[in-house]
Amino acid sequence: MNNRGCGQVSLSEARAWIGLGSNLCSPHQQIIDALTELDQLPLSRLVVSSSRYVSRPVGPQDQPDFVNAVAELQTRLSPLALLDQLQALEQRHRRVRQRHWGPRTLDLDLLLFQTPSREASPAEKVSGEDQPLLEQSLVHSSYIDQCWQHPRLTLPHPHMYQRAFVMLPLAEIAPELELPNGRRVAALAAELATELANDEVRPVLS
């Protein structure tokens, strides 16, 4: 197993929200299997996951619809160590990166990362090339949102606020969560839902 970066850990459990997507090789099963594997990541556990949603692809339309979900993890990994684990999981699902926004067996995006407010930011615990170019701490209740701009990772995910296939499942599991932009998840998801074309993003009923 590739444990690169796993030495960077939080002193206590952080909260992370992961976006999942697939449109190749039995996408519904890919998502189901990935959720099981997220619960098995080092120093991490799955707290809750959303229903699955079907969405039209972003970018090239000559590909199948996507199956999407969002999951919340509790983790002692730092953001970069968690990113390493997510990318390793994508590779185990034989993801091939051939074109931007192209079809994929599994896509895992780190959307949000919060640390307990009594803790130093993970950005304070890394150095050298792993140091974020921009890091802020935004306090919400007893947790702090980590806002990073790093060559490997931007937090929060730069496109999540505009993507209904992210915000709708996130609203299902964390409707009252306050985002780093000051908005609550449920309110932003409701706005996006009113802008959707028919069947652009739809929940899986079974």
Residue written as token pair 């590739």: 2
Where would I find the H helices in the chain?
A: 27-38, 79-92, 164-173, 185-194
Here the tokens at position 199 are 């069947």
Does the CA dihedral 83-148-181-77 come out positive or negative? positive
Q: How far apart are CA 19 and CA 166, in angstroms?
A: 7
Report which of 61, 67, 60, 75 is spatially closest to residue 110, judged by C-alpha positions: 75
Active-site residue flag, 95: yes
Cβ proximity of 195 and 165 under 8 Å = no
Q: Catalytic residue, from 52, 95, 130, 163: name it.
A: 95
Q: Catalytic residue, from 56, 92, 109, 184: name it.
A: 109
Active-site residue flag, 107: yes
Active-site residue flag, 56: no
Active-site residue flag, 39: no
Q: Catalytic residue, from 84, 107, 130, 145: name it.
A: 107
Q: How far apart are CA 83 and CA 4, in angstroms?
A: 10
Q: Catalytic residue, from 15, 52, 76, 104: name it.
A: 104
Active site residues: 95, 104, 107, 109
